[in-house]
Structure 1
Amino acid sequence: MQHGHRGFISAAKQKEPALATRSTNRPLSPHLSIWKWGPHMLVSILHRATGSGLALVGTVLLVGWLAAAAAGEASYAAFMDWFTLADGRTNIVGYVLGIGLTWSLFQHIANGVRHLFMDAGANFELHRNKASAKATMVVSVLATLALWAYLIMGK
């Protein structure tokens, strides 16, 4: 047998009969088309998306708010005009960002608590896993509604 550079057997010289008999009818790795979509898959993706959204949007808003506040009253007023009406009430952009970030936070926290239990070794049974995934979505929506009802009605 001839050896290539540094003693390795050249791939061209090596013959693998097992590769020649491998079935080409089956996929080499799992593909999305063979998985049945479930709530546990959705919350896994939502956890990543809400974490990224909170980090990106939240950071941009916080830094913009701090920069506007540091730049003076005119800059701060211009920044707040993006999110409020002339009388100080929240406008549509303020509601969309506020409610979206609030829901993202509650969803991320609820799924984080779900994963805390999974890290402890619980909740791996499929039925309970799916039920807890659904619960994170219900809790995040209810908590968002409760907070915004308090913010709107409390004023």
Structure 2
Amino acid sequence: MAGERQARLGDRIRVILAERLEKGLRDPRLGFVTITDVRVTGDLQHASVFYTVYGTDEEREASAQALKSATGMLRSEVGKHLNVRLTPSLEFIPDALPENAGHIADLLREAQERDAAVAGLAAGAAYAGDADPYVKPREHDADDEA
């Protein structure tokens, strides 16, 4: 039951922050930010907000600074929309999802290239022994009976 309440509160915070960030902040450093997940502690006092930023490393760093600067204002915004006694503190954590996705895409491309190379080798390959190595029963010859 408590875990369900944490999850509901986390989802609500994610929606509030996403809507607020969609309107934009007055901070030019903030890039294209997506809130990917919000995890609330068991005592509902702290929320870890996971986010991604589309862009370069510099844009990601600038957005992290902008979110850090706006944390107090964003917490107030969350407090206005939540029906809880105490508004949880917010901690913005960059989500490694895009980097992992890029790494996985690289690995898949590499595997595909290796598969193509193996298929190329197999196409020109010949059997090391007979084409059909399984022993078959010999045909019954008339000579064998005599």
User: Which of the five TM-score ranges fits, normalised by the shorter chain?
Assistant: under 0.3
Q: Which has the higher contact order (CA 8 A, sep 6+)?
A: 1
Compute the TM-score of the two structures, normalised by the length of structure 1. 0.25
Compute the TM-score of the two structures, normalised by the length of structure 2. 0.26
**Bigger helix share:** 1
**Bigger strand share:** 2
